[in-house]
Structure 1
Amino acid sequence: MKQTLTDKVAYITGGSKGIGFGVARILLDNGMKVAISSRSLEAAQKAAASLSADPSKILALESDVSTPGAEARAIKAVTDHFGRLDLLVANAGVGHFAPIETLTDEEWKSTIDTNLTGVFNSVKAAIAPLKETKGYIITIASLAGTNFFANGAAYNASKFGLVGFSQAIMLDLRQYGIKVTTIMPGSVATYFNGHVPSDADAWKIQPEDIGQLVLDLMQINPRTLPSKVEVRPTMPK
């Protein structure tokens, strides 16, 4: 039984570009209403305008997920505007890569505060409205949450932690009818860590591919929960 998504509401953190933007486009194209956030309101508004000119379909928000209280305000803005919340896509993330000898306190804190604590902040703020709709939480982790690598101490720690966090809250929240999935992508053509996507990234997963995966998860029969999904390019470069 495919689930209808018409007029359901999604909130996507880090939605002004990359994976978050690609997910927003796919969900909008399939009848959902979408709120996207960014640390820059201007960036969120620019992205929202390129996605839809209809304010009844799209909402741009400023929120730094690592800031206490910011996500509570963002979720309230979503429910005030749209009247409900059906899906949280916890996507906002940063990356600092350095050997442990040179990794700074600030780089460690920024990575953990955004990639792990930031998801905690988003999830905590979303639980109450998601209980009402028996909604869905999708966290965007990484294959770096299971595969460690040199210079990845901060990033690996944040993504290993996010995978564990997501699987634990999946067990906590399913009693309320809230589903939780963590998506663990390999190489994706995004602006992450200062990269600018180009034709040279054609071999990588594209943001809209993650959007299609989110769509598929939303439409699967509710009796089935893919709690952890690994995806990678079919043919690595």
Structure 2
Amino acid sequence: MLENKVAYITGGTKGIGFGIAKILLENGVSVAFSGRKKEDVEKAEQELKHYSGNVLGIVSDVKNLQNEEQAVQSVKEKFGRLDFVIANAGLGVFKPVDQLSAEEWNDMIGTNLTGVFYTLKASVEELKKTEGYYITVASLAGANFFENGAGYNASKFGVVGFTQAAMIDLRKHNIKSTVIMPGSVATNFNGNVPSEKDAWKIQPEDMGNLVLDILKMNQRVLPSKIEFRATKPGN
């Protein structure tokens, strides 16, 4: 069902993005992914080639529209089409709002929210051609505010609202769109080093399997917003 399909994943060098790329490659999808650092992209590309040779690593900063336009052009040149876009790139700085710097705010909003728009802006015409799928990775922080989360909450609340409104526009072109709102995921996010202590959390491959299930759904149905959490929170 997914053979000959092509996906582009932002923030794909590790964590959630890498987990999604791995699962899609194992299920016959050709995958392009991006990251900001060349060394991280090259490392992830070599690791992902163990699962399939149909992989392309791209250096791109989602805060830069031209970068994303060039990334989509690279996908077209390599694979000839684009069916699925997963806007996953994100970062978090957690401080009291009075201690949050303008630079930190702009970096979070630029990556987590503006970057989601730029990725869609760069790819939407290709998705129209394939009647494709656009998926964003937000967070449960997009519905639940918390202490020291003003900037992160603002960006993720924005992603949820943006994706839901974009879904209404995109379905007119037979493009499906879903926002996924995961809880705690075992990644390197916010300086964490995954270990046995994270075994209770959502794993990156769990996110990959969720995306796979979404993409396999009948064209007539659209899960527009999904909350995704660990069964039992850790201590």
1:76 to 73, 77, 83: 73
Matches within 5 A, 1:74-223: 74-223=71-220
**CA apart distance, 1:54:** 8.6
How much is the aligned-residue C-alpha RMSD, in angstroms? 1.1
Q: Runs of at least 4 residues of structure 1 off by over 2 A?
A: 53-56
- 1:92-135 Cα distance to aligned partner (Å, 9 max, x none): 00101111110100110000000000000000001011001000
Deviations 1:62-105 (A, max 9, x none): 00001231101101100111000000000000101111110100
User: Residues 35-77 of structure 1: CA distance to partner in whole angstroms, max 9, x if unpaired?
Assistant: 0110012211211111115985000100000123110110110
The two structures have a TM-score, normalised by structure 2, of: 0.98
Q: Secondary structure at the match of 2:114?
A: helix
SS in 1 for 2:8: strand
What one-letter code is carried by the residue in structure 1 that aligns with 2:112? N
1:18 paired with 2:11, answer no
CA distance in 1, matches of 2:77, 2:165: 29
Cα separation, 2, equivalents of 1:225 and 1:54 = 29
TM-score, with structure 1 as normaliser = 0.97
Of all paired residues, the percent bearing the same amino acid is 59
Task: Quote the offset at 1:7 in angstroms.
Answer: 1.7
Distance in 2 (CA, whole Å) between partners of 1:53 and 1:188 is 24
- Residue-pair matches, total: 234
State the alpha-carbon separation in 1 of the partners of residues 143 and 51 from structure 2: 40
Gaps of 5+ in 1: none
The match for 2:2 is 5
Q: Secondary structure at the match of 2:134?
A: strand
- Structure 2 CA distance, aligned partners of 1:166 and 1:184? 11
Gaps spanning 5+ residues in structure 2: where?
none
